[in-house]
Amino acid sequence: MLRVEDLDKNYGDNKVLKGVNLTIEEGEITVIVGPSGGGKTTLLRCISALTEPDNGSIIINNKYLYKHGKRAQKKDELEIRMDMGLVFQNFNLFPHMSILENITEAPRVVLGVRIEEVKNKGKEILGFLGLSNKENSYPFQLSGGQKQRVAIGRALAMEPRLICFDEPTSALDPSSTGEVANLIKKLSVEKGMTVLIITHDMTFATMVADRILSMDNGVLKNEHMYI
């Protein structure tokens, strides 16, 4: 589903990613753990095409987003992006849009789906996430956990094959770690989603992961120091 080959990224003299290789199979939940500054977030940003890698390839669903450091062409890039959803650490919901609009805008505007259809699907997603009564609320009225579920719903609405999470437990109180883990497992089981998670929360990682990798100093390792 996702393949990363020899990915390099430098910020000046600082080598953040040093030839990272990663393969994630369809339907798998992969967690990358490691200390801050180890390059996890940069890797995720490269996979989301928010940061340009210096070299290496990223292949999502058999299509090259980056080939040996060269970005896909504009029109292909959008199509490749659509196979991938990202849930940000601080969610980045659109504060001026209602919860339902947050979820329906992208399919309506980017994919051109009819408004009735996106609304029905949006409501269905909110139901799946246990937020049916919140469709007309605004993000500021929700708790951290609810905002996160909206952010997940916003990504799901684009029907990605791969969904990535950046530090999904860091903005929530510790008691909701289990809830998030269950929700992500539900995504994997019920929606057949491939999941990639970046975190330094080891408890959470062991709860949710099919496979845990560790990253430090720009290098990804199969084994990790915590187990």
Partner 1 sequence: MNNLINLLPQVFQGLKVTIEVFILTLALSMPLGILVAQGRLSKNKILNKITSGYILIMRGTPLLLQIVFIFFGLPIIGITFDRFPAAILAFTLNYAAYFAEIFRAGIVSIDEGQYEAAKVLGFSQKYIFFKIVVPQAIKRILPAVANEVITLVKDTALVYVVGLDELLKVGKIASNTEASLMPLLVVGIIYLLLIAVFSEVFKKLEKRYNYYQ
Rule CB under 8 A: choose which of 10, 18, 106, 216 binds partner 1.
106
For partner 1, which is the closer residue by CB, 59 or 82? 82
Applying CB under 8 A, the site for partner 1 has a residue count of 26
Rule CB under 8 A: choose which of 6, 19, 27, 82 binds partner 1.
82
> By the 8 A CB rule, do 163 and 187 touch?
yes
> By the 8 A CB rule, do 6 and 19 touch?
yes
Question: Can residue 90 be called a binding residue for partner 1 (CB under 8 A)?
Answer: yes
> By the 8 A CB rule, do 20 and 10 touch?
no
Tokens of 132: 């049916």
Question: Can residue 86 be called a binding residue for partner 1 (CB under 8 A)?
Answer: yes
Question: Can residue 168 be called a binding residue for partner 1 (CB under 8 A)?
Answer: no
Rule CB under 8 A: choose which of 21, 109, 114, 117 binds partner 1.
109
Question: Can residue 50 be called a binding residue for partner 1 (CB under 8 A)?
Answer: yes
* Residues numbered 113-142 forming contacts with partner 1, rule: CB under 8 A: 138-140
HEC sequence for 136-165 = CCCHHHCCHHHHHHHHHHHHHCCCCCEEEE
CB of 84 to partner 1, least distance (A): 8
What is the torsional sign of CA 51, 2, 159, 98? negative
Termini Cα distance of the chain: 27
Place of tokens 């909110």: 126
CB of 157 to partner 1, least distance (A): 9
Alpha-carbon gap, residue 116 to 225, rounded angstroms: 50
Q: Write out the residues near partner 1 by the rule CB under 8 A.
A: 48-50, 78, 81-82, 84-86, 88, 90, 92-96, 105-106, 109-110, 138-140, 154-155, 158
